[in-house]
Chain A
């Protein structure tokens, strides 16, 4: 019997663990280590943040699902990886620290034959003074929609702003809280859902709503933007993003590195080197992501964290990390199998793998401050990568170490994305988009880097319906209800 440990129970980890258990059956063991007791459909958190959904609508308990699937569930955080075992044993193992199941604070060693790191990101609030509380958590000056609890808190704060806006002007600031953030899409959805709800509440005229982000142009989204065929033209997402902001009367401040947050005020530096301040009554700023801080040790107990992980804490896989200049970037730099180059029984999936470089063109302010979106690896790509990695591990277990590894390069896969711009069965809208491939391939598609036959976007009620259906469909799938494998990632 072989044992696979999956660290992380988010989109990628949950997908990997559930498919691996289905394919391996009872002959082999699948262990999931995640500090969370609940699974969260994160894309719907923005609706919790405007009071259109409750926390219970976007989460469900993991334990019964894993019990049904026959997966050994440990509510714990992974602390360290020991890929060579220890002095008296060659068996690789990880150490975990329980966060629940009546064993909070207890530590344990679990040996493995294969390991999938799908730990997702650490929400690095403390990267920006004042954005965090100094202990790694969200600070007191701004709100977040990164977790369901954060989104609930955001909604409570927002409701107070709406109440005040009935009699006085209020200012709302939404965007990114650091120059190296990703996940602009969540902030994009949140700002337009706030705008939509403000209109419904009759307080829009008293609200100044402003966007601040590290993108060098609106519509970059960490993917260098995208080009779409519309009305006989091939046009940049910049034009469509700017159009939506102008239509909804939301001014923007872009190329901004937020370097300090105080009560009611952010300080920022722009790409042209100028600095400034922006006041607010309510602000939702996405934090930058980092690895979760896993450590790694060799057989002698020496620290080999730098061997397994990139400096940002994400795990090294089969990507080109040579650090070559932007002009030499290629689609083939991106990983295909997500196997660690030094330890062949370790894989990383979803946000946990270290990207070889940015997707957007790197930008630095005239003062030398890097200000650019980092690559998104959430949603559909995270699910597809998790499934491919699980497939590889299952084949390695069943067929031996020479088994073919499954591939899921972000430079060869597309992604469908639906960004809500307001919730409502008949008055809601969302931008429905597809990109193919996620990482542009300028050798295969000179010009835009993508296949414009499969890259499109449009905004409308249909997009909202699709986002709402996806909410129910993916929660149904994650609960492993009948037919779950038929729903694509």
Chain B
């Protein structure tokens, strides 16, 4: 069984949701990808901040 699929079997509630794949989890802490996301998130937040003042 793939590691990311183990928790599906632990409860009915877990079984009915989505769990990220190993690839998706890796991207979360991949420094190069996250540097890009850092820029994107900051731009999005600045837009919301500017609309709120």
Contacts and interface: CB of A to CB of B under 8 A. Distances in A.
Interface in B1-39: 4, 7-8, 10-11, 13-14, 16-20, 25, 27-31, 34-35, 37-38
Given A246-B14, A462-B35, A454 B28 contact: no
A429 B41 contact: no
Nearest to B50: A488
A459 B48 contact: no
A239 interface: yes
B48 A414 contact: yes
A247 B19 contact: yes
A193 B31 CA distance: 20
B33 to A, nearest CB: 8
Interface string A443-458: 0000000000010101
A463 B29 contact: no
A461 B34 contact: yes
B3 to A, nearest CB: 11
A249 to B, nearest CB: 6
Interface residues on B, range: 20 to 34
A211 B10 CA distance: 15
B24 to A, nearest CB: 10
A380 B52 contact: yes
B7 A462 contact: no
Contact of A436 (B25, B27, B48): B48
Contacts of B42: 466
A390 to B, nearest CB: 13
Interface residues on A, range: 20 to 34
Which of A252, A413, A461 gathers most chain B CB within 10 Å? A461
A459 B18 CA distance: 14
A425 to B, nearest CB: 10
A328 interface: no
Given A242-B13, A243-B20, A246-B19, A456 B44 contact: yes
Interface of A: 239, 242-243, 245-247, 249, 251-252, 380, 384, 413-416, 426-427, 429, 432, 434, 436, 454, 456, 458-463, 465-466, 488-489
Given A462-B37, A488-B49, 16 more contacts: A239-B17, A243-B19, A245-B17, A246-B8, A246-B14, A249-B7, A251-B10, A251-B13, A414-B51, A426-B29, A434-B45, A436-B52, A460-B34, A461-B31, A461-B34, A465-B38
* 8 A-B pairs with the lowest CB-CB distances in the bound complex, closest first: A413-B52, A462-B38, A242-B17, A414-B48, A246-B14, A461-B34, A462-B37, A460-B28
